[in-house]
Amino acid sequence: MALRAASILPSAISVHKEGKLNSSLKESSFNGAFVSKNVKSDFSSLVIGTKELRRKSSFGPIRAQTATVAPSVTDATQDGKKTLRKGTVIITGASSGLGLATAKALADTQKWHIIMACRNFLKAEKAAKSVGITKENYTVMHLDLSSLDSVRQFVDTFRRSGRPLDALVCNAAIYLPTAKEPTYTADGFELSVGTNHLGHFLLSRLLLDDLQKSDFPQKRLIIVGSITGNTNTLAGNVPPKANLGDLRGLAGGLNGLNSSAMIDGGEFDGAKAYKDSKVCNMLTMQEFHRRYHEETGVTFSSLYPGCIATTGLFREHIPLFRILFPPFQKYITKGYVSEEEAGNRLAQVVTDTSLTKSGVYWSWNKNSASFENQLSQEASDAEKARKLWEVSEKLVGLA
Ligand code: LMG
Ligand code: NDP
Ligand code: PMR
């Protein structure tokens, strides 16, 4: 495609200094980032004011641009320049938190139509209105990731809409830290791994075809990861730690009957199940990259957007946690980011022309500049990724 990268996002995208950052990175992780020595010496500087963040975020200035919306992938304008049609992006769990903030950031560019793939139609509609996403920029489509039938139906409905697919963001998740006993998806999988990993696994496998067919210059499949699944960080060492073991529980169907409800075959622990599911998300992204990047040209990415301590993710946690967690992250770990900032970060991974490298787990440093982060040993284990892929495709009925 002879389109110039700049035609996708013509604004100044300038703050990424991956090469420079990487060369000075030290393996000492605090804020989800392997921070350089000079950053490390001043933890307070890991957090900067929202205004400053907005200024420094490479996504910020895009909002001020006047967008050009063209009906087909490229359209000649009067002055002979080619412009790009609006992209279509599916965001799962766009009814709150990070997903909603990302939808808002992308809608504000006027360059994207957002398919809000949500389990609660009314909530999603209200959420879109509440943040001021205008009608022509979004469509709500029903998706319940805790049912494989619903995933297949969603794919069907999306295809019948006739829209091309240019980006898919697997964002939705549930976290059940206080559950004493496992609960299950419609298909009988433990609910957190069933929703966060298996639902998204089926969705992204089915939609890869659609992404491949798109004529958009950059096609992306993003699966949201997290620091808490990475045991090479302090946050990833807070018990219970993620550990997939030899996948015996998953291979047994994760059903708590003839197999454990936990991937590693152990006793049920809701917080661990969530962290395990995030490891699955990060491994899946890398396995997609190895299997399909060259063949399809799709960019596969994951990210840790920062600690968005105010979202609905913590709704099942005890009230005291919900009160203390935001100030703890703001003033003690300094890993806190606002929903708006986190949404801008994920929106960058969707559109930024400097984030085209595939197979990368993105994080952001104190200046809100993105860099390629390193995953833990388990979350980058290629053999485990392959096994996870094969077991997962059996469970979701693809093999
Ligand atoms: C579990 O408990 C529950 O058991 C589980 O059900 C689930 O809810 C799960 O993640 C959710 O949590 C976690 C519990 C145990 O942690 C706490 O709840 C901590 C509360 C007590 C904290 C004490 C002091 C903190 C001071 C802050 C004061 C502000 C108050 C805000 C509190 C808000 C809550 C966050 O956790 C523990 O066992 C505590 C010990 C945790 C320390 C973990 C650090 C491990 C460090 C290991 C070093 C490894 C180095 C790696 C570095 C890599 C570098 C290359
Ligand atoms: P929220 O709870 O605010 O958002 C989660 C979204 O997922 C909601 O829209 C929710 O829908 C949706 N969802 C849950 N279950 C299903 C389902 N069965 N089918 C369809 N949608 C579902 O949490 P966050 O915004 O914080 O989380 C978004 C992502 O960010 C997750 O992948 C999480 O792991 C990741 N993340 C979050 C961090 C944080 O600090 N908050 C840090 C690192 C990563 P509904 O509105 O109907 O409940
Ligand atoms: Mg954690 C040092 C930095 C740091 C960061 C960036 C996070 C992020 N956390 C950090 C440290 C700590 N946390 C420490 C030292 C403790 C012990 C006091 C701690 C505790 C803690 C709990 C109990 N943290 C938590 C919990 C949760 O229930 C959250 C969780 O694990 O959800 C799975 C959580 C988180 N801490 C984070 C982030 C980003 C989360 C939640 C979200 C996620 O991974 O998606």
CA distance 199 to 216: 26
Task: Please determine, for the modelled complex, whether the ipTM score is greater than 0.90.
Answer: no
- What's the whole-number mean pLDDT along residues 300-329? 97
* Ligand 3 atom at shortest distance from the alpha carbon of 317: 28
Nearest to 305 by CA among 31, 7, 15: 31
Output the six-digit token pair for 159: 């295809």
Say yes or no: CB of residue 231 within 6 Å of ligand 1: no
Task: Quickly list H helices, 167-301.
Answer: 191-193, 200-213, 248-251, 270-296
Nearest to 98 by CA among 173, 187, 192: 173
Cβ-based neighbour number of residue 22 at 10 Å: 14
pLDDT surpasses 80 at 209: yes
Q: What ligand has the least distance to the C-alpha of 333? A: 3
Using pLDDT thresholds of 50, 70 and 90, give the confidence band for residue 258.
confident
Mean of the per-residue pLDDT values for the chain? 84
How far does residue 333's CA lie from ligand 3's centre (Å)? 9
pLDDT digits (tens, 9 = 90+) for 215-257: 999 999 999 999 999 999 999 999 999 999 999 999 999 999 9
How far does residue 196's CA lie from ligand 2's centre (Å)? 9
Q: What ligand has the least distance to the C-alpha of 332? A: 1
Q: Which of 238, 324, 333 to mutate to test the pocket of ligand 1 (most atoms within 8 A of CB)?
A: 238
Nearest to 251 by CA among 236, 262, 241, 235: 262
Output the six-digit token pair for 179: 């559950």
CA distance 152 to 84: 30
How far does residue 3's CA lie from ligand 2's centre (Å)? 35
CA distance 43 to 38: 10
Using pLDDT thresholds of 50, 70 and 90, give the confidence band for residue 366.
confident
Nearest to 288 by CA among 189, 393, 192: 393
How far does residue 173's CA lie from ligand 1's centre (Å)? 21
How far does residue 235's CA lie from ligand 1's centre (Å)? 8
Based on its alpha-carbon atoms, the radius of gyration of the chain, rounded to whole angstroms, reads 20
Say yes or no: CB of residue 224 within 6 Å of ligand 2: yes
Q: What is the pTM of this model?
A: 0.84
Cβ atoms of 16 and 369 within 8 Å: the answer is yes
pLDDT surpasses 50 at 29: no
